[in-house]
Amino acid sequence: MANLQLNNHIITISRRQFHGETKSLTPYTSLTKLLKQRSIANDRLTRVKSLSESQGNSGTGNALVQQRAPGLNDVKSEIIIEQTGDMDCLVKEYGWKVRRMVESKGEMKMVALIQAHAFHVPSLFFDDFFFHYFQAEVLAALYYRLRNSPPDRYACLVAEHAKEDDASTISLPHQLVGVVDITVLRDGDVLRHLEGAQEYLYVSGIAVPDNYRRQKVATVLLQACEVISVLWGHQYLVLRAYEDDLGARALYTNAGYRLVARDPIWVTWIGRKRRILMVKRLW
């Protein structure tokens, strides 16, 4: 899976409301149509005749009329037009729904537990101690990001059962089944692969508990990242995966990401696993 990103020596995780507003979003299946409409609108340039041919060479020439392309607020409005009935839902598909993380102690602890299980490297001795220490690091990062990140620069998205009656089949109501972090970044080494971009949306920390894997949870999380990317006005999504993680690479490839770069071979000489850089362009 994608690496759990480290920043300022802390694992990055967070979430914020949309500037204090509650928004209802269209299902992911209409996102492709929205992006196509935006692309057409941005390229719309109509040339019209100011006079008919019967007027001949009267010295009037052609008029160039450009229709206004929609701004980000227009795109947001189009996304929000269709009501899903769930005020917090970004995506609802395959029996799962994705929303931004709630800033509650209980949910933040659950997020930290899911990511700790996904990214903790077992130790030969005192493994329980090191696991709890790692989980505490993840939880500390949640608080750090909530205090220091604007709501349109960083978010933690969580997946859960889409139907209310699904909660009766699990131990807790609103049991989280997946987590992903998204951050707006501007790393020059990445930007050289992104034509015309000054920033991009970085996807990291994607984690799904073992008993929910291979059930399209990660796919829905990636779809929600695309919705956020449109809302925030970013054309590119970027992520990293380990070169030898064939399962993760297949997931990202099927989601439309393409490989653009690899870590230099010398990283393996110092005991690090080689990573690949993958990119998806939305419009």
pLDDT of residue 13: 32
Lowest mean pLDDT among 166-170, 173-177, 231-235: 166-170
Of 81, 87, 90, 115, the closest CA to residue 226 belongs to: 90
pLDDT score for 39:
53
Highest mean predicted confidence (pLDDT) among 18-22, 30-34, 55-59: 30-34
Answer for the pair 109, 139: CB distance below 8 angstroms, yes or no. yes
On whether the CB atoms of residues 187 and 204 are closer than 8 A, the answer is no
Q: Please state, in angstroms and rounded to a whole number, the distance separating the CA atoms of residues 112 and 133.
A: 11
- In a domain, residue 213? The reply is yes
Residue 61's pLDDT is 34
Q: What is the CATH number of the domain that holds 185?
A: 3.40.630.30
Please provide residue 38's backbone torsions phi and psi, each rounded to the nearest 5 degrees: -65, -40
Whether 53 maps to a domain, the answer reads no
Residue 58 counted as domain residue: no
Q: Which of 35-39, 57-61, 202-206 has the lowest mean pLDDT?
A: 57-61
Distance CA 225, CA 188 (A): 22
Binned at pLDDT 50, 70 and 90, residue 213 comes out as very high
Question: Residues 47-73: what's their mean pLDDT?
Answer: 37
252 is an active site residue: yes
pLDDT of 10 strictly over 50: no
> How far is the C-alpha of 71 from the C-alpha of 19, rounded, in Å?
18
**The model's pTM:** 0.72
Q: Nearest Cα to 187, choosing from 236, 146, 139, 229? A: 236
Which among 28, 154, 212, 252 is annotated as catalytic?
252
pLDDT at 229: 97
Nearest to 4 by CA among 240, 175, 243, 265: 240
Average pLDDT for 159-176: 64
Owning domain of residue 138: 6-37+69-281
Q: For the segment 101-148, what is each residue's pLDDT rounded down to a tens digit?
A: 998 999 999 999 999 999 888 888 888 888 999 999 999 988 898 889
**CA angle at 96 for the pair 20 and 134, rounded to the nearest 5°:** 75
Dist. CA 110–CA 113, nearest whole Å = 5
Asked if residue 168 belongs to a domain, the reply is yes
Examine the pLDDT at 55 and tell me if it is beyond 80. Answer: no
pLDDT value at residue 255? 97
Three-state secondary-structure class, residue 173: coil
Average pLDDT over residues 25-50: 47
How far apart are alpha carbons 135 and 182 in whole angstroms?
A: 19
Token output for 50: 């100011």
Task: Give dist(CA 226, CA 27) in Å, integer.
Answer: 12
- The answer, yes or no, to whether residue 183 has pLDDT greater than 70, is yes
Would you state the pLDDT for residue 3?
A: 53
Query: In this predicted model, what pLDDT tens digit does every residue of 229-246 receive, in sequence order?
Result: 999 999 999 999 999 999
Cβ(220)–Cβ(96) under 8 Å? Answer: yes
Distances (CA, A) of 188 to 74, 154, 193, 194: 30, 19, 9, 10
In a domain, 1, yes or no: no
Average pLDDT, the chain: 76
CA distance 178 to 2: 13
pLDDT, position 1: 52
pLDDT of residue 207: 96
pLDDT score of 26: 44
Q: Is residue 49 part of a domain?
A: no
Q: CB neighbours (10 Å) of residue 106?
A: 10
How many domains does the chain contain in total? 1
Q: What is the pLDDT of residue 87?
A: 54
Note whether residue 223 is domain-resident: yes
Q: Is residue 63 part of a domain?
A: no
The region of weakest confidence among 73-87, 124-138, 189-203, 241-255 is: 73-87
Pairing type for strands 236-242 and 200-207 reads parallel
Residue 213 · residue 248 · CB < 8 Å: no
Q: How high is the pLDDT of residue 145?
A: 86
List of long-range contacts for 81-86, beta carbons under 8 Å, 24+ apart:
81/26, 82/26, 82/27, 82/30, 83/24, 84/24, 84/25, 84/26, 84/27, 85/24, 86/24
